[in-house]
């Protein structure tokens, strides 16, 4: 079982990384970094199960 804090931080990180790739997001902490999309593609379904909007955007 994951703590709510870890789940929240993982969701915020995922939003920020997708935002850096052009997905509409209010969280943009990674605008000046290179994002490797493959790990993001693999991790997003697991993280998006906790955030309906993220799941819809991805």
Condensed to tens digits (0 to 9), the pLDDT of residues 17-55 reads 998 888 888 777 776 778 889 999 999 999 999 899 999
Domain parsing of the chain, residue ranges: 4-57
The pLDDT of residue 45? 94
- Spatial separation of the C-alpha atoms in residues 1 and 24, rounded to whole Å: 29
Q: Choose between 31 and 5: higher pLDDT.
A: 5
CA trace torsion 7, 13, 18, 19 (10° rounding): 120
Q: Helices marked H in the chain — which ranges? A: 4-20, 37-48, 52-57
């Amino acid at each position: 079982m994951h703590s709510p804090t870890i789940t929240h931080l993982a969701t915020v990180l995922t939003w920020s990384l997708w935002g850096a790739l052009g997905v509409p997001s209010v969280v943009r902490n990674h605008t000046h970094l290179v994002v490797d999309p493959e790990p993001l593609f693999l991790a997003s379904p697991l993280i998006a199960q906790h955030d309906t909007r993220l799941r819809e955007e991805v």
